[in-house]
Structure 1
């Protein structure tokens, strides 16, 4: 007997657990279909090169798009510790070392494609988020967005690495999930939350394991400050005023910290 249960409330995909073993995902919006198709090409190539389990989805038959992959064990890390930081540092070092050419050949958006997306996102931030900010934070906000468009690219990045995508089981890292935003871009984007949104011991262990340079650290802080901007636009797109409010509050908090 097939047993289905709700599994995730992600922004991009509906996910459910099938028979306690399989994760089945369907896009919430038409534009997410391309991301899911990309994962079915990229992840079988990428997974053997990484030191932790990751989803390796395959497309299910049928007219509507759905993908399925074996459940990656573990759950979100409630209290990130130094041992988790070492594990994630090793994972990111391996991820950022894979061949960018090979990744593009297996479906990852190229640096040119990613640059176009960054430019479009920046225009959206300037048009829709900046007007929602207090007057005194609008100039720093515009400067932050414009700076992000000139960040270097050239490495395969996860693109959306946060606490809900890093899994642990029995006190050790057990996997990394949700590669729908993977692209050839700035590796510092994967260090944003890891260095600036985690306890000091975790961040220090990750930085030592990965080999974080001052330049990477500075760019990762830029991407960290941009994180809540995506929450604002998501709230606007889904007509969710509460998400817009919390996103704007996050934008203001990180901008004020950066201008203090």
Structure 2
């Protein structure tokens, strides 16, 4: 086995150079990994890029295993890859929501009370208020960022980590892709996907909300440096200063 690393939810090791084995870091993540083993075999054939398709190795303790998705984190993103990701997201967002729900996929429940209690910055409440009324009618990845989009030799080779898959706002999957990537990549993705002004505006809301989760995660694990970095991200994305209170 080769240790691959750990995220907020699970640890991963490479077995035999081919299989990625994942275990939950917290008890509540076990059902999430088991759900992936039900949803991903149904979803994967609908998508134009390889994705993990886990099988259950053990239910107690929970262990799942899937074939290694090729590639690594992409150092330089261009229009070719932007079109690829746009096609991928169009296919993902076209997946039937009712069929996903039958396989245990639910809606997103944001920790709004904790956000208000633990992330207190000027303009923060206004951002949270903008979350009211956002659509929840699309199957989304829910955590699409550079560490989850893989590539090699100038093309994308896969998308990983579907632990946050849920029925929600399509714009959440466009947050990083439109607001944290090179202009050529973002423009090609937007054209391929068909990004509307309303989608772009909602994607900015989700982009601004991203670091709020990092603050809560830092508090949960007792690492104030992580929380401090998250708070700096909140402030930077809101383009305001931290309240002295």
Tell me by how many angstroms 1:62 deviates: 5.5
Aligned alpha-carbon RMSD (Å): 1.3
**In 2, distance between residues paired with 1:162 and 1:93?**
16
Runs of at least 4 residues off by over 2 Å = none
Q: Which residue is equivalent to 1:180?
A: 163
Q: Is the 8 A contact 1:39 1:107 kept in 2?
A: no
**In 2, distance between residues paired with 1:219 and 1:95?**
18
Structure number with the higher helix fraction is: 1
**In 1, distance between residues paired with 2:76 and 2:28?**
34
The answer to whether structure 1 residue 122 and structure 2 residue 105 are counterparts is no
Change (3 A) 1:153 1:62: closer
Q: Is the 8 A contact 1:43 1:55 kept in 2?
A: yes
What are structure 1's unaligned runs of at least 5 residues?
none
The answer to whether structure 1 residue 22 and structure 2 residue 19 are counterparts is yes
Q: TM-score, length-normalised on structure 2?
A: 0.95
Q: TM-score, length-normalised on structure 1?
A: 0.90
Q: Which residue is equivalent to 2:92?
A: 95
Change (3 A) 1:103 1:249: same
Tell me by how many angstroms 1:61 deviates: 2.9
Deviations 1:96-125 (A, max 9, x none): 00100011112211x4xx2xx12xx11211
Q: Which residue is equivalent to 1:191?
A: 174
**Alignment coverage as a number of residue pairs:** 241
Q: Which deviates further from its counterpart, 24-33 or 147-156?
A: 147-156
Q: Is the 8 A contact 1:122 1:149 kept in 2?
A: no
**In 1, distance between residues paired with 2:172 and 2:59?**
35
